[in-house]
Structure 1
Amino acid sequence: MHNPKNFQQNDRAQLEGLIREYPFATLMTHSASGLEANHLPVLLCEKDGKAVLQAHIARANPLWKTLPDKSDVLVVFNGPNCYISPNHYPTKQETGKAVPTWNYVVVHVKGVMSYIQDKDWLLAMINRLTDQHEAGQQRPWSTADAPEEFIQKMLPAIVGLEIEISAITGQWKLSQNQPERNRRGVVAGLSGESGDQYRTIAELVKSASQKQAITPAITATEN
């Protein structure tokens, strides 16, 4: 993706944090059948000291037949995002020179994908996926709540996916290219909107603005 320097996110903890918080991803592949996108929940795990992504698809999905094992893939994780009106910019009131844009947080993961058919692996992955998403429930459901023979019959209906990560790229587009007073205007404007995404982006813009203010001071001290 086009990733201007102002918007680049290189903090591995921040990148992995977004993957965990927004795990419903888009898996993009290319094979003899052409370009394809699949949407699925993804787990970020550790294997042999390295980060990997794990997921599964329905066996009825032809992907595992049309895309060869060990193929290169791209996985996109979309975080919070929202529209930014020029009306939020004080400079627009003075000059009129402003256009709309969109603020967003996104992570792209490139890697090599393998198919896994082993039942024990599939069950362990399903258990981890379930535990992660049931954690907030008052009475978390687990696979142990279903008859064992039922679960064992369901496992052959899915194919496991494991992606060995080769690169992680993040883009935090949060009005960093705007002057400070416009960033303050964006925070104020979004804070008055209804909808969690606006307030989340407002907080992220505020945080990014604070980092921009701190960085020159750190650089000056180091010099």
Structure 2
Amino acid sequence: MLIHPWDAARDDTEWQQWLSVHDFGQLAVNGPDGEPPFVQPLHFLYDAGRGEVLTHLARPNPLWGALEADPDVLLSVVDDYAYVPGPWQAAADVPPEHGTPTSFYAAVQLRCRAHLVDDPAEKAALLNRLVGHFQPEGGSAPVAAGESPYGRMLPGLRGLRLEVTDVRAKFKYANHRDREVQDRIVTALAERGGPGDAAAREHLLRRRKA
């Protein structure tokens, strides 16, 4: 992922706050020789304090063999994206039709080392943390090894702890454009009101204040 200086995260807090409310991504795992990578969409819990990601997958998932062969993986999270037509980005001294279209988006890539979790008690603890994150309101019975209702399901899945070793974060929102162009884009995003436009607009306004 190319990251220009003006698109880079201002600091760790910026991408960590964004990631705290974006907990669905794609896990890329190196495939066998001659094969493309495995890419698995999944929900996850990012723990900034411990520098790790928690998730789980079904035991029949073909990722496990690839993870055991090579535990170095990449978790990619992308959201708050919007297409920006060329005329919106045209400088004041050029015709609107000469403007360059682009994409706005926020992206965080976590390079990780995978640790498989198979111990029943450790799996139960991992699952309880995940449920606590995604269901803070409660409503589900706790997971406990050997106990109903979920204990019998534990053998059918494996836990996954991803130790974060490197982070690349990008917030691509016209931060290198002049104020006039930025104002035009802010107005156009509000008027269009498509999926992702409000979030993209907020990122542009937030980052230029910084």
TM-score over 0.5 for the pair: yes
Residue in 1 aligned with 2:178? 179
Q: Distance in 2 between matches of 1:21 and 1:202?
A: 17
Residue in 2 aligned with 1:14? 14
Residue in 2 aligned with 1:78? 78
CA separation of 1:6/1:120 partners in 2, compared to 1, >3 Å: closer, same or farther? same
Letter in 2 for 1:56: H
1:107 counterpart = 2:84: no
CA separation of 1:10/1:113 partners in 2, compared to 1, >3 Å: closer, same or farther? farther
Aligned counterparts, 1:71-150, within 5 A: 71-89=71-89, 91=91, 94-96=94-96, 97-135=98-136, 140-144=138-142, 148-150=147-149
2:110 alignment partner, SS class? strand
| Percent sequence identity over aligned pairs | 20
1:40 counterpart = 2:38: no
Aligned-pair distance for 1:66?
Answer: 3.2
Aligned-pair distance for 1:179?
Answer: 1.3
CA separation of 1:145/1:164 partners in 2, compared to 1, >3 Å: closer, same or farther? closer
**8 Å CA contact retained: 1:9, 1:171:** yes
Q: Which moved more, 1:83-92 or 1:180-189?
A: 83-92
Residue in 1 aligned with 2:158? 159
Q: Distance in 1 between matches of 2:10 and 2:204?
A: 17
**8 Å CA contact retained: 1:89, 1:181:** no
**8 Å CA contact retained: 1:25, 1:41:** yes
1:165 alignment partner, SS class? strand
Question: Which structure 1 segments of 5+ residues have no match?
Answer: 212-223
**8 Å CA contact retained: 2:124, 2:143:** no
Letter in 1 for 2:156: A
Question: Which structure 2 segments of 5+ residues have no match?
Answer: none
**8 Å CA contact retained: 1:77, 1:107:** yes
Across the aligned residues of Structure 1 and Structure 2, the Cα RMSD in angstroms comes to: 2.4
1:61 alignment partner, SS class? coil
Q: Distance in 2 between matches of 1:130 and 1:175?
A: 37
TM-score, length basis structure 2: 0.88
CA separation of 1:36/1:70 partners in 2, compared to 1, >3 Å: closer, same or farther? closer
Letter in 2 for 1:141: G
**8 Å CA contact retained: 1:69, 1:113:** no
Letter in 2 for 1:24: F
TM-score, length basis structure 1: 0.83
Residue in 1 aligned with 2:2? 2
